[in-house]
Amino acid sequence: MTERVTIPIAEQRYDTALPYVPESQQAPTGRLIDARGRPLHDLRVSVTDRCNFRCGYCMPKSVFDRDYAFLPQSSLLRFEEIERIVKVFVSHGVEKVRLTGGEPLLRKDLEKLIERLARLTTVNARALDLTLTSNGSLLTRKAAALRDAGLQRLTVSLDALDDDVFRAMNDVDFPVCDVLDGIDAAAKAGFRSIKINMVVKRGVNDHQILPMAKHFRGSGHVLRFIEFMDVGASNGWRLDDVMPSRDVVGAIHAVFPLEPIAAQYGGEVAARWRYLDGSGEIGVISSVTEPFCTDCSRARLSTEGRLYTCLFAASGHDLRGLLRGGASDGQLAGAIAHLWQSRADRYSEIRSSQTQGLRKIEMSYIGG
Ligand code: SAM
Ligand code: SF4
Ligand code: SF4
C-alpha cells in the first residue's frame, strides 16, 4: 500500500520576521525597486485556497483529498482587509492586481470585493488594472455579475478541447462544454479582454495544442501556453514532462504561420506572437526554458495575508498579523517597502541542482 502524503497548509508556512516600523518613522512612498533593480508593478491576491477541480499539476487528489486541512474561514483575509492592503500596494506604484486562488469564484460574494477594488486609482491617476484567473466552471452563472461589479478583464484556464482529455486533467470529470459556455457568457457580458491559459504537459495534452489554436484563432481571445512548472511539492514535476514553448510555437507556426511581436510593457510574462493572416495572437509563458526573473515585478498575497516575493518562495511575511495587530497604513507601507527593497529572488534562473529539495509553497495557497 502506498503511503498517503499530506502537507496541510499549517505545515507549509514558514514566516520570516517582518521589520518593526515605528509609527513615527515616515514610510517610503512611491515606486519600490528591489535588490536586483526590479520595480514592484503587479500584485496577485489569492482569495481562497479551495478549488472544485483537482488538476494533477496543481492540486493532485492524492494530496488534496477529503482529509486535507484547508484554511478555516477565520484565517482568510476579509474583503476590507484585502482592500486596505491593495491600497497600500497601489500607493507604492502597483498598477495591476490579479485575483486568483484556488478557484476565486468559489469565494462567497466575490463581486463585493471586485466593486471595492475596481474603483481604486493608481498613483498616475489611472484606473487600477484589475483582472481575475478562473477555471471557468462557474462562469456561465457569474460572468454578468463580475462584469457589473467592474471587472473588465478575465483569464480562463482550459487545458484541452477534447472532453475526455479535459475531464482527466481536471480529475473531477468536469465537461469541457461548460467551460466553453462560460467563456461565451463572459464574451456576451462584455469583458474587454479574455485570455485562455493552457498548461501543456508532454504526453498528456500536447496533442491538444493545434486544436486549441484552431479553435481560438479569430475569436478575439488570446490563447497562452504555459510550461508545466515545479510549483509546490506535490505535483510530481519532472523536466521530461515540460513541453518547451519553442516547440509549441514551432508546431503552430508549421500550420498557421506566426511572427513575434513586442511586449506591451516591461515585465510582461508572456512572449507574444501573431498570426500572419491577421487572425489574432497567442502568448507563451516559458518559466522553465526561458526564465524571466530579470524583469519579474510581481508580489503575491496568500489567502491568509502572507506576502510572498516569488512563486517559488519557501517563506512568507505575515501582513495579516500586522493588520490585525493595529498597524497603521504607514507601518504597513514601511514593512512592504522593506521586504521589496531587500528582495533578490530568481528561482527560475537558478532552477537546477541548487533548487532541488527546497521547500516551496503550493500554488493553490499562494495564488497562480
Ligand atoms: N483556479 C484558477 C485557474 O485554474 O485558473 C486560478 C488559480 S490557478 C493556480 C492559476 C493558473 O496557474 C492556472 O492557469 C493554472 O493552469 C496555472 N497552474 C497551476 N499549476 C501549474 C503548474 N504546475 N505549472 C504551470 N501552471 C500552473
Ligand atoms: Fe484548481 Fe486552478 Fe489549481 Fe486547477 S489550476 S486545481 S482549477 S486552482
Ligand atoms: Fe519571479 Fe520567482 Fe518566477 Fe523568477 S521564479 S519570475 S522571481 S516569481
Share above pLDDT 70 across residues of the chain, in percent, rounded to a whole number: 89
pLDDT of residue 217: 97
Lowest model confidence (mean pLDDT) among 135-139, 314-318, 330-334, 347-351: 347-351
Q: Which atom of ligand 1 is nearest to the CA of 228?
A: 24
How deeply is 164 buried, as exposed, middle or buried, from its count of CB atoms within 10 A (0-12, 13-18, 19+)?
A: exposed
Residue 11 confidence (pLDDT) above 50: no
Q: Is the CB of 336 under 6 A from ligand 2?
A: no
* 312-341 per-position pLDDT tens digit: 887 899 999 999 999 999 999 999 999 999
6: cell is 499530506
* DSSP-based three-state secondary structure for 17: coil
**Residue 108: count of CB within 10 angstroms of its CB:** 9
* 33-59 per-position pLDDT tens digit: 999 999 999 999 999 999 999 999 999
DSSP-assigned states of every residue in 20-72: P--TTSPPP-S--B-TTSPBP-EEEEE--S--S---TTTS-TTTSSTT--PPP
292: closest CA among 362, 349, 229? 349
Query: What letters, b where the CB count within 10 A reaches 16 and e where it falls short, cover 305-321?
Result: bbbbbbbbbeebbbbbe
**Residue list, ligand 1 pocket, CB within 6 Å:** 51, 57-58, 100-101, 103, 133-135, 157, 197, 199, 226, 228-229, 231, 235, 363-364, 368
Are 200 and 226 in contact by the 8 Å Cβ rule? The answer is: yes
How deeply is 290 buried, as exposed, middle or buried, from its count of CB atoms within 10 A (0-12, 13-18, 19+)?
A: middle
Ligand 1 binding pocket mutation candidate from 58, 105, 200, 308 (most atoms within 8 A of CB): 58
Q: Which atom of ligand 1 is nearest to the CA of 58?
A: 20
Residue 148 confidence (pLDDT) above 60: yes
pLDDT of residue 359: 62
Q: Is the CB of 47 under 6 A from ligand 2?
A: no
Q: Is the CB of 59 under 6 A from ligand 2?
A: yes
**Residue 52: count of CB within 10 angstroms of its CB:** 14
Question: Letter for the amino acid at 327?
Answer: A
Lowest model confidence (mean pLDDT) among 26-30, 60-64, 148-152: 26-30
Distance CA 9, CA 63 (A): 11
Nearest CA to ligand 2 atom 5: 58
* 230-258 per-position pLDDT tens digit: 887 778 888 999 999 999 999 999 999 99
Q: Is the CB of 55 under 6 A from ligand 2?
A: yes
pLDDT of residue 224: 98
pLDDT of residue 75: 95
Q: Is the CB of 312 under 6 A from ligand 3?
A: yes
> How far lies 239's CA from each of 18, 243, 288, in Å?
35, 9, 9
Partner residues linked to 261 by β-bridges: 272
Residue 300 confidence (pLDDT) above 70: yes
- Torsions phi, psi of 196, nearest 5? -115, 125
Cα angle 280-127-132, degrees, rounded to a multiple of 5: 55
- Which ligand gives the minimal distance to the CA of 200? 1
Distance CA 259, CA 243 (A): 20
121: cell is 486609482
Domain 26-366: homologous superfamily in CATH: Aldolase class I (3.20.20.70)
Q: Which atom of ligand 3 is nearest to the CA of 349?
A: 4
Q: Is the CB of 345 under 6 A from ligand 3?
A: yes
* 166-214 per-position pLDDT tens digit: 999 999 999 999 999 999 999 999 999 999 999 999 999 999 999 999 9
Residue 27 confidence (pLDDT) above 70: no
Q: Which atom of ligand 2 is nearest to the CA of 100?
A: 8
313: closest CA among 264, 265, 355, 259? 355
pLDDT of residue 225: 98
| 180 Cα to the center of ligand 1, angstroms | 17
pLDDT of residue 5: 40
54: closest CA among 66, 37, 72? 66
Report how far Cα 69 is from the mean position of its chain's Cα atoms. 22
Cell 495575508 identifies what position? 305
Q: Is the CB of 364 under 6 A from ligand 2?
A: yes
* DSSP-based three-state secondary structure for 199: strand
pLDDT of residue 279: 97
Query: What mean pLDDT, rounded, does the chain reach?
Result: 90
Cell 508545466 identifies what position? 228
Residue 2 confidence (pLDDT) above 50: no
For the four alpha carbons of 13, 31, 341 and 286, in that order, the dihedral sign comes to positive
Domain boundaries, the chain: 26-366
pLDDT of residue 8: 46
| 59 Cα to the center of ligand 2, angstroms | 7
Q: Band of the pLDDT at 7, cuts 50, 70, 90?
A: very low
pLDDT of residue 23: 62
pLDDT of residue 129: 96
Residue 366 confidence (pLDDT) above 80: no
Q: Band of the pLDDT at 14, cuts 50, 70, 90?
A: low
